[in-house]
Amino acid sequence: MRVEPAAVKASGWGWRHATRKDFALRAVDFAIRPGERVLLLGASGAGKSTLMAGLAGVLGGDEEGEQEGSLTIDGVDAREARGRVGLVLQDPDSQIILERLGDDAAFGCENLNVPRSEIWERVRESLDLVGLGALDLRRSTRHLSGGQRQRLALAGVLAMKPGLLLLDEPTANLDPAGVQEVHDAVRQVIETTGQTMVVVEHHIDVWLDLVDRVIVLGRPDADSLSGGVIADGTPAEVFASMGDLLAEGGAWVPGRAIPDYRPGTRVIVEADDTEALPADSNVDSNKESASAGDQSDIDGFGNDVKTVAAKTAGHPVLSCRDLSFGRGTALGTGIDLDFHAGEVTALMGPNGAGKSTFALTLAGLLRPIDGQVLVAEELAPSPNRREPIHWKSRELLGRIGMVFQEPEHQFAANFVRDEVSIGPKSMGQSQDEAYRTADRMLERMNLTRFAKANPYTLSGGEKRRLSVASMLAAAPRILVMDEPTFGQDFRTWTEMVRLIAAIRDHGSCVIMVTHDEALVDALGARRVMFQEGSEA
């Protein structure tokens, strides 16, 4: 399959969403020659996705926003260049349109009025190119893996034979195997078709071998015509001159050292970390019955961090005994694991292995199919009630916190500040006290300026920080996190690592589901691998 590559030209281009006062981006100038492969970078908020949507012609008409300058594909206004541009987006769930694999890949061709016989020819060719050629065209799209879904989306776009291929963080939601699959599929595609490509991605190293040019967008200034393109050149040139700025803006610049927050590297626990984390008093009001345990090792939470290491040598704060977990059917059985205070445990393994289900079971949210999840006696509401699944919802507060993979699943208030104060309030703090705790957490998470905003209006990284902040406000001794660094840019990532280290060094037990090797290394976390068993 050979495609006529498209030329792209932006001249003084800018876009303002109808609902916003300021331009999302302005004064963008560049010319991309046919067949060039461009990596588009910029801090979050620089308008990368808006530019991609503009190139794809899906920004909408005059009622959706205001455009200035021009953006053309082969000399034609991008809004009129239907079919010349194909866009693959980040979320694998929302890009599958039809139930059957072949129908989904054919959808774009139908919309371009491609004759029927040619549609199926193109569909087969595209699916072959992305490595899905072996699958039955009638197969349901429902049970495809994330990597397969993204490759199917790529095939659906490819079948439209666009001269310009746009990839907007296509691998941000995938596990490492999925990232590799999509990368290889894209390489296969562009080598075969010779298309022009523009890709947006925080993880630069994923695409470095496929791009020959890097364009960096600056954050636009409200009043002036600044912003636009702040760097443009080969990867080597741009990273040499802009490396620090890009890392500051959140990009994962290749060859940059990953911070070391392993246990024992106490330097990182700065004074403000300890102060900003909720004090022990938050929990006490909720701990009516944990009287005997107050002197135990668990209670080292607010104490001098230097003593933590010694205390973790004691018995586990959370353990599973002969545990079978799953929703309905057991995914794993007979599991015995211990989790200790002051320790970070990473649950790792392929997507779909059941790590999230296991995490929810540990967090007292899903009922074990068999066996037990047991919390240390001192931490339980009463010594004979050690199984968190039998606790009241309120009793989980201050004991076990769960940060969900999708922050939006967690939001329950209309304002950021209220969102964070929910936990402390439920634990018996007065409104003022709860707000004080919330403000401390927001300050710590660099979210203070959003205190009055609606949680849903925050960016991805901000939402993630908010969901962590609102869990930490309840000062849980055991914190379970599902993919805390999923799709995060470098800056949010670094903050998250620092924060998890601080929580650990306060003597809390952190359990996280993650694919992120760098995160596990940075924290020196203990690894629990989920592996699929053989049928034997």
Partner 1 sequence: MSESVSIRIAGAGRDSASDAAVKPAVSDVVTVSAQDTREDPLKPASPSWFVAKVNPVSRIIGALLLCIPMFFSLDLVSATTALGIEFVLLWIGGVAPWTVCRRTWPVWIAALGSFISVFLYAKVSGRILWSVGWIVISEGSFPLALATAIRVAAIAVPGVILALGLDPTDLADGLVEILHFSPRFVYGGLAGMRMFTLLQDDWRALGLSQRSRGLGDGNAVSRALSQAFGLLVLSIRRATKLATAMEARGFGSDAPRSQARISRLKAVDWLFYAICLSVPLISLGVAIATGHWRLAFTGGA
- Laid out side by side, the sheet with 25-32 consists of 25-32, 8-17, 65-73, 76-77
DSSP 8-state secondary structure symbol assigned to residue 382: S
Name which of residues 161 to 190 contact partner 1 (CB under 8 A).
none
Window 81 to 120, contacts with partner 1 (CB under 8 A): 82-83, 86-87, 89, 91, 93-100, 102-103, 106-116, 119-120
CB atoms within 10 A of CB 124: 16
Cβ proximity to partner 1: between 41 and 420 the closer is 420
Rg (CA), the chain: 25
Q: Any contact of residue 535 with partner 1 (CB under 8 A)?
A: yes
Binding region for partner 1 (CB under 8 A) out of 251-259, 298-306, 485-493, 521-529: 521-529
Q: Which is nearer to partner 1, 238 or 485 (CB)?
A: 485
Q: What is the DSSP letter of 413?
A: S
Give yes or no for a contact between 25 and 51, defined as CB atoms under 8 angstroms apart. Answer: yes
- Find the part of the chain contacting partner 1 (CB under 8 A) among 124-132, 354-362, 485-493, 508-516: 354-362
Residue number, 154 or 242, with CB nearest to partner 1: 154
Q: Which residue has the tokens 């199984």?
A: 387
- Shortest distance in whole angstroms from residue 273 CB to partner 1: 19
Query: CB of residue 287 vs partner 1: minimum separation in angstroms?
Result: 14
Q: Which of 131, 249, 300, 354 binds partner 1 (CB under 8 A)?
A: 354
| Only segment of 155-163, 173-181, 376-384, 443-451 that touches partner 1 (CB under 8 A) | 155-163
Residue 222: both structure tokens together:
């409200």
Please give the residues from 363 up to 422 whose contact with partner 1 meets the rule CB under 8 A: 363-366, 392-394, 396-397, 400-402, 404, 406, 408-412, 422
Residue type, 370: D
C-alpha closest to that of 109 among 83, 130, 70, 127: 83
Least separation in angstroms between residue 156's CB and partner 1 is 6
CA distance 278 to 471: 11
Burial label for 524, CB within 10 Å (0-12, 13-18, 19+), is middle
Minimum CB distance to partner 1 smaller for 213 or for 355: 355
Q: What is the smallest separation between the CB atom of 226 and partner 1, expressed in angstroms?
A: 29
Tokens 């530019």 locate to 51
526 touches partner 1 by CB under 8 A? yes
Q: Which is nearer to partner 1, 196 or 216 (CB)?
A: 196
Distance (Å, whole) CA 280 – CA 469: 16
Q: How far is the CB of 26 from partner 1 (least distance, A)?
A: 22
Binding mask 35-64 for partner 1 (x = CB under 8 A): ------------------x--x-x------
User: And the tokens for 324?
Assistant: 């079978």
Instruction: Assess contact for 331 and 505: CB atoms under 8 A.
Output: no
Contact criterion met (CB below 8 Å) for 161 and 2: no
Q: Which is nearer to partner 1, 27 or 89 (CB)?
A: 89
Alpha-carbon gap, residue 156 to 319, rounded angstroms: 47
Which residues from 461-480 bind partner 1, rule CB under 8 A? 470-471, 474
**Should residue 149 be labelled a site residue for partner 1 when binding is judged by CB under 8 A?**
no
Binding piece for partner 1, criterion CB under 8 A, among 33-41, 297-305, 339-347, 377-385: 339-347
> Which tokens is 133 given?
């050629």
We find the least distance from the C-beta atom of residue 310 to partner 1, in angstroms, to be 8
SS3 272: helix
